[in-house]
Chains A and B, each alone.
Chain A
Amino acid sequence: MKRSVWNRLFIASSFALGLMGAVLIWQEISPEWMRYQAEYYRRLATVTQDPAKARTPLKVLQIYLPEMHRTDRCITCHTGIDNSKMKDQPQPFRTHPDLGIPGFLAAHPFNEMGCTICHHGQGPAVTKRHAHGPVPHWEEPLLAKGLTVGTCTTCHQNISGLKGAERLVQAKALFEEKGCIGCHTLHGKGMLVGPELAETWGKSVDQFDFRYVQGEQTVANWVKDHFKNPQRVSPGYPALGIPESSMPNYEFSDEQIQLLTALVLSFSSEEEEQERPIPARFRVAAGPTPEPTYASSIDKGRAVFKKYGCAACHGIEGRGGIRNKNMEPGEEVPPLIYVAEGFTKEEIKTVIRTGRYPARADASGPTPPLWMPAWKDKISEEDIDALADYLLSLYPESRTARPVKTAQG
C-alpha cells in the first residue's frame, strides 16, 4: 500500500475521532431534560416574580426508593409536581392534581412513594421517549389516562367506597355481572376454561400474540383489542386444529373496554409483587366483609349464580344467548329458565357437580369451545342446593302448560 493511503487513513480516522468527541461532549452538556428544567425555573420565576429562581442550577432530580427497587427521575422534567403555584402551567411543569379528593396529596407523599408505583413508566430514564415509552425491553410504559386507576389496588386492597376509584368499582360490578370467573380463574378462584387473570399484567410482551393487534405492542393494547374482538386477536390455527379463542364476544362499548382493561391491570400475581415489592406500610388492608344474609334459599342461589360467573355463558338471570360454535342445539349455550321442565332438583345438582361436554351439531366439525366445568370442588354442597332452588325458580310464570320433557340442561 502506498504511503499516501496510510496518510489518508490517518487523517480520516483523526477527523472522525475529533468529530465524535465533539458529538459526545455536545450530548453530555445539553441533555433533553435540561431544556425542560430550565423552562420550569423560568416559568417559576415569572409566577413567583422572583427572577433569582430562573438561575437555579440544573441537575438530575430523583426519588430514590431502595425498598421498592425504584429510582424515579420523573421529577427531573416534572419538577413542579409538588409546587401548588404551577397549577395552571402546561405539562410537564404542572402541579400534580388532587383529583378533587380532599387529603389525596397528603396521603400520597411523592418523595416517599415516587411516581412509577401508580403511573408506571421507566423511572430511571431521563428522556421522554424512554421514560414514557413504550420502548423495547421496558414492559411497563406510562399508563394512559383512563388506566391509572387500575394501580390503586397496588396498595388499597379494598376499593369499594375508595374515593377516586369509582371507575374501578364500576368495572368490578361489570366483571361480576358478566360472570368472568365462570371461565377464568382469579387468584385460583373460578374455572380454568380461560387463563388465570391475575397473571395477565405480569406476563412479558413476548407471551402475547401481536400479529392481529392494532397499534403499539403493549399488554394494555392487547387486552383492549382482545376485549373488542377475541376471535380476531386470537384466531388460533384452524389448519392445524388449534381452535380460536373460546371467549364470547360481549360487544363491549369503548368505555366498558377501558374499564375492564384498568380492572385487569389492577390484578397482580405473587411473582409480580416479588419482583417489585411494595412495603407493608403502604398497604391499606381491606376491612372485614360482613357475612351476607339471605331471605330465602332462592335469594342465596341468585348470589351463588352471580358469584361463580354462571352468567358468562348462561346469560344474565339464566336467559342464555351466548354463542357456542358447533353446539347442539342451535350453536348456543342453553338458557336455564326452562330447566324446571326437564330436570328434577337432584338432576340439576348432578350436572352442576360433574359438568358436561356439549354435543356437536356437526359430528365432523370442531369441538365447541365452551363447556360446562365440574363445580363440585369449587362450590359447597349447601350453595349448590341453593343454586338449584334458584334455577328452578326461574321458570316464567306466564308459561302455564308445561310441554313434554325436551329441554337440554
Chain B
Amino acid sequence: MSKFQAKLSDIARVIRTSKIWKSIFRHSYQDTPRNRALMVLSNVFLHLHPVKVRPASLRYRYTWGLGGLSFYLFLSLTLTGVLLMFYYRPTIEHAYWDMKDLRFVVPFGPFLRNMHRWSAHVMVLLVMFHMASVFYRSAYKPPREYNWVVGVILLLITFLLSFTGYLLPWDQLAIWAVTVGTNMAANSPILGSEGPFSIVTPDMDARFILLGSKIVGQSGLLRFYVLHCVFLPLIFIILVSVHLWRVRKDEFSAIPLPPEEERRKGVLPEEWVKKHPEALQEKVFTWPNLVSREFVALLAITAILVIWSVFGHAPLEELANPNKTPNPSKAPWYFVGLQELLVYFDPWMAGVVLPTLILVGLIAIPYLDINPTGVGYYNFKNRKFATGIFTYGLVLWFGLIFIGYYMRGPGWELYLPWEKWDHFRPTSQIGLHNMPNWLGLVFLLGYGALGMLIPKIFFKDFYKSLGPIKYLVVMFLVLVMFFVPVKIVLRNVLKIKYIVSFPDFNLNI
C-alpha cells in the first residue's frame, strides 16, 4: 500500500467513524446477510419492499415491472412538472406564449416539455397495461380485491391528470380536445344541461362545474391548472400510498411454477405448491436481487423517454381560438375510443353512461369472479370466460381508439390510416333512419331477455355457480359490452340511427 493510499484510508476511517456519518448510515456496506436485510429495513424508500421475496417475483415476465414503472413515471412527471411550473402562467394571455418560450429560449426547455408530455402518454399506457397484467395473473383475487379497486381509481386519476394537463398549453389541440371532453359532461343524464331528464341550466350543470363557464376559457384553464398541479396529484399520492402499502401487506402474488414435465402433465401451479410447501418458503434477499432489476428497468425506460424527448417535439398547434373549430377535433388519444362511440351513441351514453359502466364493471371484477384458479401466474385455460370477456373489452377499447385516432378525418369520416384527408368530401352519413319506437322497445327488451335467458339455459353450471344476483350483474355488463358491436352493425349495415328515440327527453338509444 502506497503512502497515498494509506493516507486516503485514514481519512475514510475518520469520516466513517464520525458522528455525522454514523447518524445517517446505520450500517456498513459489507455484503453480509445482515446488511442486505438492513439495506431495505433502514431505508424509508426501499422499505416499500419486503426484506426477502420469493424468486418467482423476480421473473420479469411476471409483472413486466409495469406497476413500478408507472409509479416511477409519476415521480419523474412530478419533477419535470414542478420545473415547468416555474415557466408557465395559467392565463389565456400568457400560457401559449410561455410554451413558445419553452420551445425556443428556456434552457433545456424543449427537453423539459417533451419529457413531461411523452412520460405522461407512456404512463397512461403503462397503467392500462399494468391493469391488464394484474387481471391475467389473477392478482385481484382474495386477499387482494380491495387493492384492485384502489388500482381502478388510480387508473381514473391517471386519465384525469393527463386530461387536465392536455389543456394547459392553450393551443387549438388543447381547447378543442377539452371542449369535446367537457361537452360530454354537459350531456350527463339529469346533471347535464343537454342530457336526458336534465334538471339544470347551462350555467349550473356538470360542465359549468368543470369549466366555471359554458365554454373553455380563462376560468376553465385555471381550474384545470389547479386540478392538474395540486388536487389530482395529492389524491394520487394518497391512493398510491394505500396501493403500495397493500401490495406490501398482501405480498407479491407470484408463486413458483412446477418443473417443466409436471406442467406438461397439466399440473396447476397452485396444486403443485400445495404438495411442495417448501417451494413456497424459498426466498431470496430483495437487496440486491429485486432492487437492482428495478433500477435497470427504470434506467431503460428513462433512456427510451430521453431519446424520444431529444428528437421528438411535443405538439403545439396554433393559439387557441374559440371561433375556429378544427375539423376534426379529437379528444386525447385515450379518450378517442369514447369519442368514436359518439358515432353510434348519443353523448350521454358514449360520454357518461358507458365510461361509468366501464369503471363500475372493472371495480366489480374481483367481487364477481368467484373462480379461485390462477392466482400468481398467467392462466388462460382454466378461466376462459373471464379472460375471454376481458380480452374482448381490451380489444374493443384499443380498437375504437385506433379507429378514432388513425382512421377518422374531417367530418369524422372514415379514412384509411395512410389516406390523405379531404376536407371537402361530402358526408357519408346519409339515408339514416330510426327504428319505430314500438319495434325498438321490442328489440331492446328482446336483446336483454334473450341475452339473460340463453346462457342460463345452455350453461347451467355457470348460472348455478354465480347465483342469481351475480349472474344478473355479470350478464348485464356483458350484454352492454356486446351492445356496442350491435349498434355498429345496425348503423353501418342497416342504416339505423336510433333504436328508440324520445326527443322530448333527449333520450335516444
Contacts and interface: CB of A to CB of B under 8 A. Distances in A.
Interface of A: 1, 6, 9-10, 12-14, 16-17, 20, 23-24, 27-28, 60, 69, 71, 73, 124-127, 130, 137-139, 204, 206-207, 209, 211, 237, 240, 242, 271, 275
B79 interface: no
Interface residues of B, number: 38
Contacts of A16: 303, 306-307
Given A124-B101, A271-B323, A17 B303 contact: yes
Contacts of B316: 137
Contacts of B419: none
Contacts, number: 85
B266 interface: no
Given A206-B326, A209-B422, 20 more contacts: A1-B61, A10-B296, A12-B300, A12-B303, A14-B303, A16-B303, A17-B302, A71-B101, A124-B101, A124-B105, A125-B100, A125-B103, A126-B105, A130-B104, A137-B171, A137-B316, A206-B423, A207-B423, A240-B426, A271-B323
Nearest to B100: A124
15 contacts: A6-B293, A9-B296, A13-B299, A17-B299, A20-B306, A20-B307, A24-B310, A69-B97, A73-B105, A124-B103, A125-B104, A137-B317, A206-B326, A206-B423, A240-B426
Interface in B380-424: 420, 422-424
Contact of A24 (B97, B108, B293): B108
A124 B299 contact: no
Contact of B104 (A17, A24, A124, A242): A124
Residue of A13, A60, A139 ringed by the most chain B CB atoms within 10 A? A13
Interface in B44-82: 60-61
A16 B300 CA distance: 9
A9 B297 CA distance: 8
Interface string B290-309: 00110010011011001100
Contacts of A9: 296, 299-300
B93 interface: yes
A23 B319 CA distance: 30
A37 B67 CA distance: 49
A204 B172 CA distance: 11
Interface in B420-471: 420, 422-424, 426
B111 interface: yes
Given A14-B299, A124-B104, A137-B318, A6 B424 contact: no
B306 A28 contact: no
A138 B61 CA distance: 46
Interface in B95-111: 97, 100-101, 103-105, 107-108, 111
Interface string B205-237: 000000000000000000000000000000000
Given A6-B293, A204-B326, A28 B108 contact: yes
B42 interface: no
Contacts of A24: 108, 111, 310
B9 to A, nearest CB: 29
Contacts of B371: none
B149 to A, nearest CB: 32
A207 B318 CA distance: 14
Nearest to B295: A10
B327 interface: yes
Nearest to B422: A211
A60 B423 contact: no
A237 B427 CA distance: 13
A56 to B, nearest CB: 19
